[in-house]
Amino acid sequence: MSAARAAGPSRTPGSISSKHAPALDLPARFMALAMLLLAALALAAPWTMPLLLGSFYDPRLLAFVHLNTLGVIAAVILGASYQLVPVVLQTPLSSVKLGRLSFWAFLGGLIALPIGLLRGWLPALIAGGTLLAIAFLLYIGIVAATLRRAPHRDVVAWHMIVALVGLLGGVTYGVILAINKGTGILGEHTLANLAAHATIMLGGWVAVFLAGVAYRLVGMFTLAEEAFWEPAAWAELVLTAGGAWVLSTNLHLGGPRALSLAGALALLAGLALFAGQLAHLYRRRKRRGLDVHIPFALTAAAAGVLAAALLALGFARQEPLTSPLWIVAGWLAIAGFAETAIQGFFYKIATFLVWLQRYAPLAGRQRVPKLEELYGRRLALAGWALWSLGVALAAIAAGIGALWLSYAAGLLVAAGLVAFLVNVARIANHWRAPGARNAGQRAGIQHKESLA
Amino acid sequence: MTTTAISSERVMEALKGVIDPELGINVVDLGLIYDIVTGEDTVRVVMTLTTPGCPLHESISEAVETAVQLLVPGVSTVEVDLVWDPPWCTDLITEDGLRELGWR
Ligand code: HEM
């Protein structure tokens, strides 16, 4: 008998693994849908960027916003959480069947709502709103039931819980707004509801969810978990979600501007804490190399801080509704923060899922590639640079009203997305039908025979 | 004293072929292997993961089992014991591992 090192008492929790993750098709279908939408948005980017120079009430901008927020951001968040929540919580997903149902409802709603918004057509608005509400309610129910069964709930789990509440609020406003769009029932309260909907969706759901996921993943990817500063993560949660709810509720009720300013400042403080935590983790990381997700995550955090700062500035300076500042803040939140973070984490999450499906059965039998060998690193960094520059220029163009600059920004955004999507195609190319598992096992058996 | 047919060095060598695909470092240099207990034709690997929520749990422990079975002659049974105490920390990474992580 030989002992390489004395081990402590075995305390195997027995329930901590990816065996709790659902069948890969559930996250994969949402991810695939999001990539399809991103491809369409890349093609359209040179023509859609000038929309940011117009009114926030332009039906084309409303449709464009939802192709981004629902088609890309929500699709990736839903897909990623069906995969990640069971792994993070060490608890199986409460229902994969309902998860699949949520996908079809989501797809239907994603097609109907933008058509309704574009044409102001009540049946499509109601169908889209209803289908999306069903999809989101199913998602909320599934994740909430999983959270309830989790053995313990840490700061990341609480980010998920708070994000679900934010989503519920955002969906409620969304459905009311969709009905209102065709009927006008809200009358003069429409804008208050619109502002509340946008704020709670982006601040109370997307920002809170992405911060929680980042805390879990960044430490793991960079070997910096020991440096994670938990009190700051709790403070960030209170400030980000609290700020978003105060702002959204005050906008809804038409309360004093000072309270909106307080909400925006809390949101800003929360996002600044998030950015600080990320910078701290990256500084203290044991894995020294520049992993591709790092520039994406830092850019996203900076854009989030900038968006919240603009919001606060808007309330402090009493900017009129027609000010481009509101659109710039929204654009920075949607593209600069959420979609940049999503691209960075996609390189990690989707690549891992493909690796798990294709190469995990071969591990230990033969040399298997590292995750970063599944895509082009330089292309990923070039994509990040083009995309970030494009998003920044589009914001500047909207701010100063420069049409020519917005066309240039559109080209850069499109180029950045193309680089990203080429890498996505490379990663997807490694995906094989489940038969590959058997093929892998056969390969292993042959390997053993040849060794013997 | 028991006769040892299987050398733990041989097992360690086999385990150096199992990598963490995210970090690109093998499980030995990452400091995940706590103990190797060998019998006449049995091997027990006591190991951990970098974090209890590691989504690679199944994949890595299966790969460890497979690598030992395939690459170490004379093994009929491999047992992988995953433990969380003591928890893994970056101090367990070997010099080679640190070099792979870009430290030197
Ligand atoms: C159940 C799903 C949703 C429905 C039914 C919905 C519905 C609507 C409607 C009808 C409007 C326009 C209101 C008006 O012009 O009177 C709107 C605006 C907006 N929504 Fe949504 N929405 C949904 C999901 C989302 C999500 C997930 C986000 C963000 C993550 C989002 C962000 C926005 C933003 C930023 C605006 C303002 C756009 C602008 O003024 O140009 N929505 N939503």
Domains and CATH numbers, chain A: 3-356+376-451 (1.20.210.10)
A128-146 pLDDT, tens per residue? 999 999 999 999 999 999 9
Q: How far is the CA of A174 from the centre of ligand 1 (A)?
A: 6
pLDDT given for residue A9 in this prediction: 27
Q: For A2, which of B8, B21, B86 is closest by C-beta distance?
A: B8
Nearest Cα of chain A lies from the Cα of B26 at a distance, in angstroms, of: 11
Indicate if the pLDDT at residue B48 is higher than 50.
Answer: yes
Over 70: is that where the pLDDT of A20 sits? no
Pick left, alpha or beta for residue A445 (phi over 0 → left; psi -120 to 50 → alpha; otherwise beta): alpha
DSSP A211-270: HHHHHHHHHHHHT-GGG--HHHHHHHHHHHHHHHHHHHHHHHHT--HHHHHHHHHHHHHH
pLDDT tens-digit readout, A277-332? 999 999 999 888 889 999 999 999 999 999 999 999 999 999 999 999 999 999 99
Cβ–Cβ gap B82/A12 under 8 Å: yes
The predicted structure's pLDDT at residue A229: 96
pLDDT at B52: 74
Q: Average pLDDT for residues B81-88, to the nearest whole number?
A: 90
Q: Could you report the predicted ipTM of this complex, rounded to two decimals? A: 0.85
Token pair listed for A66: 């939802």
Residues 6+ apart with CB under 8 A from A145: A94, A95
Which site among A83, A215, A223, A445 would you substitute to test the B interface, given the most B Cβ atoms closer than 10 Å to its Cβ?
Answer: A223
Q: Tell me the residues of chain B between 14 and 73 that have a Cβ less than 8 Å away from chain A.
A: 17-19, 21-24, 33-39, 46, 50-60, 62-67, 69-71, 73
Q: What DSSP string runs through A74-108?
A: IHHHHHHHHHHHHHHHTS--S-HHHHHHHHHHHHH
* Domains of chain B, first to last: 8-89 (3.30.300.130)
CA A366-A432-A22 angle, to 5 degrees, is 100
CA distance B74 to chain A (A): 10
DSSP 8-state code for residue A374: G
Nearest to A11 among B23, B34, B84 (CB): B84
Q: Looking at ligand 1, which atom is closest to the CA of residue A74?
A: 27
Cα A8-A13-A19 angle, rounded to 5 deg: 130
Which distant-in-sequence residues (6+ apart) come within 8 Å of A189 by Cβ?
A: A254
Concatenated DSSP letters of A327-358: HHHHHIIIIIIIIHHHHHHHHHHHHHHHHHHH
**What local confidence, expressed as pLDDT, does residue A143 receive?**
96
Distance A394 CA to ligand 1 centre (A): 21
**Unique residue bearing structure tokens 């029932």:** A185
Given an 8 Å threshold on Cβ–Cβ distance, is B57 in contact with A19?
A: yes
Q: Which H or E run contains A122? A: helix A122-149
Task: Please determine, for residue A438, whether its predicted confidence score (pLDDT) is greater than 80.
Answer: no
pLDDT band at B4 (very low <50, low <70, confident <90, very high): low
pLDDT for residue A85 is more than 60: yes
| Measured distance CA(A106)–CA(A132) in Å, rounded | 5
**Looking at residue A22, what is its pLDDT?**
65
Is the distance from the beta carbon of residue A176 to the nearest atom of ligand 1 less than 6 Å?
Answer: no
Residue A177 alpha carbon to ligand 1 centre in Å: 8
Q: What is the mean pLDDT of residues A198-207?
A: 98
Parallel, antiparallel, or unpaired for β B77-82 and B42-47? parallel
Q: Report the distance separating Cα B61 and Cα A385, nearest Å.
A: 38
Q: Assign A53 a pLDDT band (cuts: 50, 70, 90).
A: very high
Residues A204, A176: Cα–Cα separation, whole Å: 18
Find out whether the beta carbon of A178 lies less than 6 Å from any atom of ligand 1.
Answer: yes
Question: Would an 8 Å CB–CB cutoff place A451 in contact with chain B?
Answer: yes
What integer pLDDT is reported at residue B35 of this predicted model?
93
| Burial status of residue A367 (CB atoms within 10 A of its CB: 0-12, 13-18, 19 or more) | exposed
Among B9, B18, B22, most A C-beta atoms within 10 A, so best to mutate, is B22
The 8-class DSSP code of residue B87 comes to P
Residue A397 has pLDDT above 90, yes or no: yes
Which one is predicted more confidently, A241 or A290? A241
Walk across the sheet containing B42-47 and list its strands: B33-38, B42-47, B77-82
Q: For position A452, what pLDDT does the model report?
A: 30
Q: State the average pLDDT over residues A194-202.
A: 98
Query: Rounded CA gap, A147 and A155, in Å?
Result: 13
Q: Distance between CA A401 and CA A265 in Å, rounded?
A: 27
What pLDDT, on the 0 to 100 scale, is given for residue A106? Answer: 98
- Looking at residue A21, its pLDDT comes to 62
pLDDT greater than 70 at residue A3: no
Q: What average pLDDT does this structure show over B79-88?
A: 90
Average pLDDT, chain A: 90
CB–CB of A38/A334 below 8 Å? Answer: no
CB < 8 Å to A447, chain B: 70
Q: Tell me the C-alpha distance between A184 and A108, whole Å.
A: 24
Answer yes or no: do A4 and B7 touch at CB < 8 A: no
A187 has pLDDT over 80: yes
Q: Is the pLDDT of residue A68 over 70?
A: yes
Å from A339 to nearest chain B CA?
23
CA distance A283 to A279: 6
